[in-house]
Amino acid sequence: MIDADYNDLGFSVGNRLMVLVESQATWSENDIIGQYILFCRIYNEQRRRYGNTKQAVTETIRICKDRNVLKEYLESREQEVVGIMMTLFDDEQILKAYAKEIADNTARETEKKTARETAEGMIKKGKMTLEEIVDCIPSLSLEELKELEAEIIQPA
């Protein structure tokens, strides 16, 4: 969050901030890293209060400027910081939606496999018609049951 020459390095890995600092550097509320850590603490507090919203971001910036935390930077680049942080929310939401979609697809595939296995057992016993099996296992269509029956009946 700084646009100047420094030989320290900070980057994000997952939900953690990794900071590589020269050995002579100290961490205090007055140095840039100390201020960034305070910014992150304030931001986490506002996120707990307001969730992943623009209000959480704008409140974080307001509080930091009031407390003289990264004040100069935030005053000169407030809209940029808001934009970046909102993009992070969007990326996080997209990732969560993608993970949910994968989980839902996996659950549907598992359900379908279980339904096919149950229907296969019922067809092999031969005690029910395909129409009766469809009533018992509505996740499979009559066409799917006919295909399954054809697979079972085929000579080896």
Whole-number Å distance between alpha carbons of 129 and 73: 74
Mean pLDDT of the chain: 83
Is it the case that residue 146 has pLDDT exceeding 90?
yes
**The whole model's pTM is what?**
0.46
Query: 3-state DSSP call for residue 25?
Result: coil
The alpha carbon torsion through 9, 86, 43, 81 (nearest 10 deg) reads: 60
User: What average pLDDT score do residues 51-61 get?
Assistant: 91
Q: Which residue has the higher pLDDT, 118 or 11?
A: 118
Q: Which residue has the higher pLDDT, 78 or 27?
A: 78
Angle at 120 between CA 116 and CA 125, to 5 degrees: 155
The structure tokens listed for 35 are 């201020």
User: What average pLDDT score do residues 7-35 get?
Assistant: 62
Is it the case that residue 110 has pLDDT exceeding 60?
yes
